[in-house]
Structure 1
Amino acid sequence: MKYPNFKELIIFENDDYIVVNKPPFIASLDERGAAGEVNILRLAKQYSPDAQVCHRLDKETSGAIVIAKNPEAYRNLAMQFERRKVKKVYHAVVDGQFQFDNLFVDLPILNDGNKNVSIDRQEGKRAETYFNTLKYYKHYTLVECKPVTGRMHQIRIHLATQRAAIAGDHMYKGKPVYLSAIKKGYRLSKDEEELPIMKRFALHAKEIVFKGLDEQDISIQAAYPKDFTTLLKLLDKFDC
């Protein structure tokens, strides 16, 4: 895999913070069993030696991620996350047609370790997400997701509880999108194996809003990566 140029990922920078538009398939931090693998934290430290990643995105998830350039900036944002003052907006393409009008999902999540999470009303930690439908297609829906808390896989599992699994999210029974399923008359040649339009689940961290050390709002939007843009273009064309 070709690793990105960190400078090209930066969508905001001041004396205290860097916000990058994380590409899919790059981890936020060092992962167990992935020694030597490039991740956002390692790239950031080469650019700014005291860099600390302030929150994480799943490896497959693309979008806005905030990096602190000094300990004071890190503490400032950590407190905002703890007090749930950071506004985060994600976009997801889900399997099926859904009308979410500020749907509030309040289901506790238990992290069993080893990337296994489940809904558990007894042992789970509080998890809250708001969902809004942005656009309908014949077989899919573009959904805006606003997590209040920041549990592992929160958006993915909360959508799955609504039978609205994210397209391509195998862990939560989300099926990948194939062109043959939406384009009439699409034919593969005999020996050709069809690949999904997106080779990951369709989730993107679109926006983040937090306060800098001067108490002023920092509001950043991250453009869709190429694969997400392609998926939406093809749905606009063939699944409307």
Structure 2
Amino acid sequence: MDVSILYEDENLIAVNKPEGVASIPESDKSVASLYHFLSEKYSKKIFTVHRLDKEVSGVILYALNSETHRELNLLFESRNVQKTYKALVIGKPEYEEGIVDYPLRQFGSGRMGVDKKNGKPSETYYSVLNYYNAHALLKLQPFTGRRHQLRIHMYSIGCPIAGDLKYGNREIQKKYPRLMLHAESISFEYGGRIFKITAKPPDSFTRVLEKINDNFIL
């Protein structure tokens, strides 16, 4: 597994997760995960701090001891961690920037969705970085950490993330080589230090942008 280590010390590690690799072990234990890879690399137990969907690339943190794991979890729970993503969406948002605040919950099918009556509060900030003919490149910052939050919020405003086989027109989404969502940076204060860890989008992400930039329209 080709994994780039972005930062490491005696307490935590940050890596640039490739798309298509699970953050934690899947039900089929024979399938490699980032957790397995790092456990073997460091020859010790590591601790999951947060997760990225399997289809998403970018910055992800793991703790190397239980104390750091507990303290980082508290930072996430208290919303003292800022995460920034890049996403290519199909269509164009009505406004150049805004906040999507639709409550979300999990439905019986396992899919997440908007439920304004019974859903959990969920907020996502977005701003447009670039417009294309039939797409827009966005910066996304989730203020909450619901499962599939960014994917559903973009879908709910009529701009599904390109390549998302769960949310959007499946026949159109299948034409993209990957889910066009990348966790670009994560910022937090820990141990008296301010961290900002960034990860460049992989070639699989930038190649799609280059095609879009050449007036490629699906």
The TM-score with structure 2 as length reference comes to: 0.92
Question: 2:185 aligns to what SS in structure 1?
Answer: strand
Task: Specify the alignment match of 2:31 in structure 1.
Answer: 37
Once the 2 structures are TM-superposed, how far is the Cα of residue 111 of structure 1 from its aligned partner?
A: 1.8
Assess if the C-alpha contact under 8 Å between 2:132 and 2:215 holds in 1.
Answer: no
Per-residue CA distance 1:38-96 (angstroms, 9 max, x = gap): 11111111123121121011110111000111111111110000000100001110001
Once the 2 structures are TM-superposed, how far is the Cα of residue 102 of structure 1 from its aligned partner?
A: 3.3
- Change in CA separation of 1:137 and 1:108 when aligned onto 2, cut-off 3 Å: same
Question: 1:172 aligns to what SS in structure 2?
Answer: coil
Task: Specify the alignment match of 1:73 in structure 2.
Answer: 68
- Partners of 1:160 and 1:114 in 2: CA distance: 17
> Which shifted more, 103-112 or 93-102?
93-102
- Partners of 1:111 and 1:215 in 2: CA distance: 37
- Alignment of 1:164 onto 2:143: no
Per-residue CA distance 1:141-169 (angstroms, 9 max, x = gap): 00111001110000000001110001111
Structure 1 segment 1-240 matched on structure 2, within 5 A: 4-5=1-2, 8-32=3-27, 34-48=28-42, 49-98=44-93, 100-112=95-107, 115-174=110-169, 196=175, 198-212=176-190, 214-239=191-216
Question: 1:171 aligns to what SS in structure 2?
Answer: coil
Pairs aligned (count) = 216
Question: 1:229 aligns to what SS in structure 2?
Answer: helix
Assess if the C-alpha contact under 8 Å between 1:167 and 1:176 holds in 2.
Answer: no
- Change in CA separation of 1:123 and 1:99 when aligned onto 2, cut-off 3 Å: closer
| Larger-Rg structure | 1
Assess if the C-alpha contact under 8 Å between 1:166 and 1:174 holds in 2.
Answer: no
- Partners of 2:109 and 2:60 in 1: CA distance: 23
Amino acid corresponding to residue 136 of structure 1 in structure 2: Y
- Partners of 1:101 and 1:73 in 2: CA distance: 38
| Structure 1 unpaired stretches of 5+ | 179-194
- Partners of 2:10 and 2:31 in 1: CA distance: 28
- Partners of 1:215 and 1:18 in 2: CA distance: 17
Question: 1:159 aligns to what SS in structure 2?
Answer: helix
- Change in CA separation of 1:156 and 1:225 when aligned onto 2, cut-off 3 Å: same
- Partners of 1:76 and 1:101 in 2: CA distance: 36
Once the 2 structures are TM-superposed, how far is the Cα of residue 99 of structure 1 from its aligned partner?
A: 5.2
Once the 2 structures are TM-superposed, how far is the Cα of residue 128 of structure 1 from its aligned partner?
A: 0.7
- Change in CA separation of 1:36 and 1:146 when aligned onto 2, cut-off 3 Å: same
- Change in CA separation of 1:115 and 1:9 when aligned onto 2, cut-off 3 Å: farther
- Change in CA separation of 1:156 and 1:205 when aligned onto 2, cut-off 3 Å: same
Assess if the C-alpha contact under 8 Å between 2:92 and 2:131 holds in 1.
Answer: yes
Assess if the C-alpha contact under 8 Å between 1:137 and 1:239 holds in 2.
Answer: no
Assess if the C-alpha contact under 8 Å between 1:17 and 1:68 holds in 2.
Answer: yes
- Partners of 1:216 and 1:16 in 2: CA distance: 13
| Identical columns (%) | 34
Backbone CA RMSD of aligned residues: 2.0
